[in-house]
Amino acid sequence: MLTFIARRCLVMVPTLFAISVVAFLIIQLPPGDYLTTMVTRLEAEGQQVDEAMLAGLRDRYGLGRPVHEQYLAWMSGIVHGDFGQSFEYGTSVSSLIADRLPLSIVLTVSTLLATWLIAFPIGLYSAVRQYSPGDYLATTIGFLGLAVPNFLIALGLMYVMHTVFGYSVGGLFSPEYRDAPWSLAKVGDLAAHLWIPIVVLGTAGTAGLIRILRANVLDEVRKPYVVAARARGVPERRLVFKYPLRVALNPFISTVGWVLPALLSGEVIVASVLNLPTTGPLLLGALRSQDMYLAGSIILIVSVLTVVGTLLSDVLLARLDPRVRLGHR
Between residue 6 and residue 65, which ones bind other proteins under the rule CB under 8 A? 14-15, 18-19, 22-23, 26, 29-31
- 137 contacts other proteins (rule: CB under 8 A): no
Shortest distance (Å) from residue 251 CB to other proteins: 14
Size of the site for other proteins (CB under 8 A): 79
Q: How far apart are CA 160 and CA 319, in angstroms?
A: 44
Q: Could you tell me which residues are beta bridge partners of residue 85?
A: 92
- Residue 271 CB, shortest distance to other proteins, in Å, is 11
**Of the candidates 7, 68, 129, 162, which one interacts with other proteins according to CB under 8 A?**
162
- Residue 54 or 307: the one with the smaller Cβ distance to other proteins is 307
- For other proteins, the closer of residues 206 and 303 by Cβ is 303
105 binds other proteins, rule: CB under 8 A: no
Q: Which is nearer to other proteins, 49 or 227 (CB)?
A: 227
Buried b (16+ CB within 10 A) or exposed e, 269-283: bbbbbbebbbbbbbb
Among 225, 241, 312, 319, binds other proteins (CB under 8 A): 225
Q: Is 275 left (phi over 0), alpha (psi -120 to 50) or beta?
A: left
Residue 232 near other proteins by CB under 8 A:
yes
Q: Is 298 in the site for other proteins (CB under 8 A)?
A: yes
167 near other proteins, judged by CB under 8 A: no
Instruction: Report the alpha-carbon distance of residue 151 to residue 281 in Å, rounded.
Output: 13
Looking at residue 92, what DSSP letter applies? B
CB distance 307 to 16 below 8 Å:
yes
Q: Is 75 in the site for other proteins (CB under 8 A)?
A: no
187-to-36, 199, 262, 285 alpha-carbon distances in Å: 43, 19, 26, 27
List 38, 148, 199, 316, residue binding other proteins (CB under 8 A): 148
Binding to other proteins, residues 112-131 (CB under 8 A): none
CB of 230 to other proteins, least distance (A): 6
**Closest to 42 measured CA to CA, from 26, 59, 54:** 54
x/- map, 243-272, other proteins, by CB under 8 A: x--xx---------xx-xxx-xxx-xx--x
Q: DSSP string covering 111-130, please?
A: HHHHHHHHHHHHHHHHHHTT
| Candidates 38-46, 88-96, 160-168, 191-199; binding stretch for other proteins (CB under 8 A) | 160-168
* 100 and 279 Cβ atoms separated by less than 8 Å: yes
CA separation for the pair 44, 230 (Å, rounded):
78
Query: One symbol per residue from 176 to 215: x for binding other proteins (CB under 8 A), - otherwise; what is it?
Result: ---------------------------------------x
SS3 293: helix
Torsion over CA: 285, 290, 295, 299 (sign):
positive
Cβ 277 to other proteins, closest distance in Å?
Answer: 17
